[in-house]
Amino acid sequence: MVWREKYQLSQDGWKFPGGFSPVQAGFQLCSEWAILDFHPGNRFPGSIHDSYRVTNSERENTRFERGSEVNDPAKNQAIIDELIKAYFMELETVLNYLANSVNLDGVRAEEIKKSLNADVTEELSHATQLANRIKTIDGVIPGSMQFDAVQATLQPPADTTDVVAVIKGVIDAEEAAIAQYEKIIRLSDGFDFVTQDMCITLLADEQQHRREFIGYLKEYEQV
- Contact set with Fe ion (CB under 5 A): 90, 123, 126, 206, 209
**CB 209, min distance to Fe ion, A:** 4
Q: Which is nearer to Fe ion, 70 or 116 (CB)?
A: 116
Q: Which is nearer to Fe ion, 34 or 171 (CB)?
A: 171
**CB 123, min distance to Fe ion, A:** 4
> Which of 36, 25, 20, 41 lies closest to 70 in space, CA to CA?
36
Q: Which is nearer to Fe ion, 138 or 197 (CB)?
A: 197
**80 vs 3: CA distance, rounded Å:** 21
Contact in structure between 83 and 127 (CB atoms under 8 Å): no
Query: Which helix H or strand E contains 33, and what residues bound it?
Result: strand 33-38
Q: 144 by DSSP, 3-state: which?
A: helix
**CB 127, min distance to Fe ion, A:** 8
Q: Which is nearer to Fe ion, 126 or 133 (CB)?
A: 126
CB contact set of 202 (below 8 Å; sequence gap of 6+): 86, 126, 129, 130, 177, 181
**CB 12, min distance to Fe ion, A:** 45
